[in-house]
Amino acid sequence: AQTVTQSQPEMSVQEAETVTLSCTYDTSENNYYLFWYKQPPSRQMILVIRQEAYKQQNATENRFSVNFQKAAKSFSLKISDSQLGDTAMYFCAFLQPDAGGTSYGKLTFGQGTILTVHP
């Protein structure tokens, strides 16, 4: 079974600074997908960024970027120019496609990291 580990229960950062959230995972598969989700105080889960394992290039979405190290099974999230609205719990998630190769599959979540951005 796949496992996802987020070793930082809480992090804090000053507004406009950069912060990196860590995530490691365990799998014997070669084809999979990785995600970072954000859950603000409203508790609405929002997708931040996604990475396909077959792509060597790290994904970026505006101020958010990842450092995907496939051999090390590491998938960290970097938030640049942190904003007060980034305050949330962040979840790393792993998806293993089903045997038929479709996208249908089970998401496995890490325990989450609470990020607080201070003014």
Partner 1 sequence: DGGITQSPKYLFRKEGQNVTLSCEQNLNHDAMYWYRQDPGQGLRLIYYSQIVNDFQKGDIAEGYSVSREKKESFPLTVTSAQKNPTAFYLCASSPLWGISYNEQFFGPGTRLTVL
Beta strands in 1-119 (DSSP E): 3-5, 10-14, 19-21, 24-26, 33-39, 46-52, 60-61, 64-69, 74-79, 88-97, 105-109, 113-118
DSSP 106: E
The token pair at 9 is 């229960």
Residue 17 C-beta: closest distance to partner 1, Å: 25
Position among 27, 50, 76, 116 found at the interface with partner 1 (CB under 8 A) = 50
SS3 86: helix
Q: Round to whole Å and give the CA distance between 65 and 114.
A: 18
Q: Counting contacts by CB under 8 A, is residue 43 touching partner 1? A: yes
Using the rule CB under 8 A, give the single segment among 56-64, 70-78, 80-88, 107-115 that binds partner 1.
107-115
The token pair at 32 is 């999979």
Residue 47 C-beta: closest distance to partner 1, Å: 6
Position among 74, 80, 95, 116 found at the interface with partner 1 (CB under 8 A) = 95
Position among 27, 45, 87, 116 found at the interface with partner 1 (CB under 8 A) = 45
Residues that bind partner 1 (CB under 8 A): 4, 9, 33, 35, 42-47, 50, 91, 95, 97, 102-107, 109-112
